[in-house]
Amino acid sequence: MGKIRVEGLKKSFGSNEVLKGIDLQVQPGEVVCVIGPSGSGKSTLLRCMNRLEDITAGSVVVDDVDINAKDTDINKVRENIGMVFQHFNLFPHFNVLRNIAFAPTELGKLDEAAARQTALRLLERVGLSDKADAYPAQLSGGQKQRVAIARALAMNPDIMLFDEPTSALDPEMVGEVLGVMKSLASEGMTMMVVTHEMGFAREVADRVIFMDGGYIVEEGPPEELFGRPRQERTISFLEKVL
């Protein structure tokens, strides 16, 4: 599984309404990239997908579970939704291995040995086998973000959320992170990616969503949205970034 259905989603911070009514579906295995100018609400939308933000109105249903319902165990829901942050948010007091193995062992998903095996396998996958014992402070930005991806994958989620995963990276490190994400996408992971990497969106996304001012302005397959944008705002945004 790994299906998201958003209906009539509104989110306000105080009197500031950031999301003004979002309807959206993500199918299992689909890769959706969300683009748009800063302040358009795309990060907030992503953070509503695992209830890092409580919503003001509407509903977010993940695999048939209304995640904002009173009797929903949000921790269980989150186990199935990995998240990668712009600023990595690795645990600085754990080494790389422990960063990855921590959640599965702590939540009783894997025993110590199995979690270690999983962590080493994931590290190999993101190309950091030699960094198992390093601490986050000893890693470059690109390495940190790859560890963060491995950490999220350790819970074996069906859905991965990426919140501008390359925005805090030096340009030469963007590629290594996008490479890992690309391979994830090709393996059928359901992914929602907030990004400024138009090249990545064009190449990897099944669907691109353009947001502005708290609304979804336009969405479609990348070749359509990038090739034949219909909305004025989409056109002017793409002119600026491409």
Partner 1 sequence: MRTIRALGLAWLLLILTVTGAAGWTGTASASEPAAGKVYQIGTDVTFAPFEFQDASGKFVGIDMDLMEAIARDQGFRYEIKPLGFNAAVQALESGQVDGVIAGMSITDERKLKFDFSEPYFDSGVIMAVRENDSQTRTYEDLRGKKVAVKTGTEGYRYAESIAGEYGFTIVPFDDSAQMYDDVKGGNSVACFDDFPVIAYGIQQGNGLQLTDEEKVAGASYGFAVRKGQNAELLRMFNDGLANLKNSGEHARIQEAYLGEGAQQASGGGWNLITESLPYLLEGLGKTLLYTIVSLFFAFLLGLLFAFMKVGGSRFLRGVATVYVDVFRGIPLIVLAFFIYFGIPQAFGFTMPLFLAAILTLSLNAGAYVTEIIRGGIQSIDRGQMEAARSLGLPYGKAMRKIILPQAIRVMVPSFINQMVITLKDTSILSVIGLVELTQSGKIIIARTFESFTIWTTVMVLYLIVIIALTKLAERMERKVRHG
Chain residues that interact with partner 1, rule: CB under 8 A = 50, 52, 75-79, 81-83, 85, 87, 89-93, 102-103, 106-107, 148, 151-152, 155, 161
Using the minimum distance from each CB to partner 1, give the nearer residue, 99 or 234: 99
Minimal distance in Å, beta carbon 167 to partner 1? Answer: 14
Minimal distance in Å, beta carbon 198 to partner 1? Answer: 26
Cβ neighbours, 10 Å, residue 159: 24
Using the minimum distance from each CB to partner 1, give the nearer residue, 82 or 229: 82
Measure Cα distances from 198 to 71, 139, 195 in Å.
39, 27, 8
Using the minimum distance from each CB to partner 1, give the nearer residue, 161 or 180: 161
Using the minimum distance from each CB to partner 1, give the nearer residue, 93 or 228: 93
Using the minimum distance from each CB to partner 1, give the nearer residue, 15 or 75: 75
Minimal distance in Å, beta carbon 23 to partner 1? Answer: 24
User: What angle is formed at CA 94 by the lines to CA 162 and CA 79, rounded to 5 degrees?
Assistant: 40
Contact 191, 162 (CB under 8 A): yes
Minimal distance in Å, beta carbon 108 to partner 1? Answer: 11
**Whole-angstrom Cα distance, residue 68 to residue 178?**
31
Using the minimum distance from each CB to partner 1, give the nearer residue, 161 or 217: 161
Minimal distance in Å, beta carbon 166 to partner 1? Answer: 16
Contact 220, 207 (CB under 8 A): yes
Minimal distance in Å, beta carbon 93 to partner 1? Answer: 5
Side-chain half-sphere of 212: how many Cα atoms within 13 Å? Answer: 13
